[in-house]
Structures are given as C-alpha cells and as structure tokens.
Amino acid sequence: MITIGILAVQGAFIEHKHILEKLGVKTFEIRQLRDLKKGMDGLILPGGESTAMGKLLHDLNLFKPLQDLIQGGLPVLGTCAGMILLAKKLTNDSHIHFQTMDIEVERNAYGRQLGSFFTNALFGEKEIPMTFIRAPYISKVGPGVEVLSVVNDRIVAARENNQLATAFHPELTDSTYLHEYFLSIVKNR
C-alpha cells in the first residue's frame, strides 16, 4: 500500500489527507522530525504561508531531512506555498527554501485575498477545476521542467522528474484527478 506523508506544520494539509483517504491511500501528518521515521512513498507540501512554513521547517529540524529526501528522488507534490518551497528562485522574495525544482516563482502574483479565483482549465490533456487563493505562478522554467498547465498566459503547474508543483489548490475541489496524477508518479518511481 502506498503511504504519503503530508507536511502539517501550517496550512491546508487536512484537505489533502481527505482526498487521499477517498482514493484509498494511507497518509500520515509530518509535524516533527520523528514522524519521518514512519517512511513514505511520497510527500505533499500543502498551501499555506510559505515564509511561516520555511521558518517552522528549520525550527523543527525538518528542513534538511526533507530536502535530502526530495533531492534523493522522493515524489513530492507542492501546492501553492508548497510550490514556493520547491522553487530554485523567487522573483519577489529573498526567502528561498528547498531550491530543488528548476522554476522561478512569483509569490502572491494574483494579489491579495480579493484576487483569489476559481476556474476550469487544462492540466495536461484533461480539464480540471482549479482554486487559486493568493496564488503564485511560475515565471520561468528550466530546461528539464515540463509545463502542465497555463491559465491566463501564466504557468500554474509544472513537473520536473519527481517533483510536481501547482499554483492552485487541487484539494479544495471535488476532483481527484491531480492527486491521482501525483500517485501515478509515486507508483512509477
């Protein structure tokens, strides 16, 4: 059985857990270093506040072990703030985090909470619902990065090897498609 660890130090982690449970996937919450001993086949970095998450990752001594796991090939899904945590560069912030995915991200690119929106758009070949909340977007991708979704001429989903990043919150819709896509990455590892 596949087991997915979900970073649960801050942000929208419980919704990811509910979707994965609906898909019959075993999950556990990562709140402290000893949680990593449970072993996982994949990792979710949820939406939330990336600066707070980055600080907590260091304070809880989770940063380096998680970075090592991602660099070692552990499949990871980063949504919204999770995408920011993965990015090698941020266009409008000096706080960079894991720096494992060759993307440049603009934080809060759609403005404040009032700039949040919902749309249906293509993710690869499939149209799915997408919820954007104070969302970032990807302003540049490196040569090994596959663009999976563009909304209003902005890259909102991409994949590089074991890393999948979205600017939107797939966990806040009824669709399980994106989580199933992530699980296919986990299964093919």
User: Does residue 113 surpass a pLDDT of 60?
Assistant: no
Active-site option among 80, 97, 106, 160:
80
Query: The domain containing residue 84 runs over which residues?
Result: 3-187
Residues listed for the chain = 189
Residue 74: which pLDDT band, with cuts at 50, 70 and 90? Answer: very high
CA distance 83 to 189: 20
CATH number of the domain where residue 30 is located: 3.40.50.880
> Which has the closest alpha carbon to 7: 71, 73, 54?
54
> Is residue 171 among the annotated active site residues?
yes
Active-site option among 16, 97, 169, 179:
169
Q: What is the predicted pLDDT for the residue at 62? A: 98
Q: What is the predicted pLDDT for the residue at 189? A: 86
The domain total for the chain is 1
Structure tokens at 103: 């993307």
Mean per-residue pLDDT of the chain: 94
Q: pLDDT tens-digit profile of 132-154?
A: 988 899 999 999 999 999 999 99
Q: What is the predicted pLDDT for the residue at 85? A: 97
Residue 3: which pLDDT band, with cuts at 50, 70 and 90? Answer: very high
Q: What is the predicted pLDDT for the residue at 46? A: 98
Q: What is the predicted pLDDT for the residue at 92? A: 79
CB within 8 Å of 73: residues ≥ 6 apart: 161, 162, 189
> Is residue 58 among the annotated active site residues?
no
Active-site option among 15, 106, 160, 171:
171
pTM: 0.95
> Is residue 15 among the annotated active site residues?
no
CA distance 16 to 29: 10
Q: pLDDT tens-digit profile of 32-56?
A: 999 999 999 999 999 999 999 999 9
CB within 8 Å of 111: residues ≥ 6 apart: 134
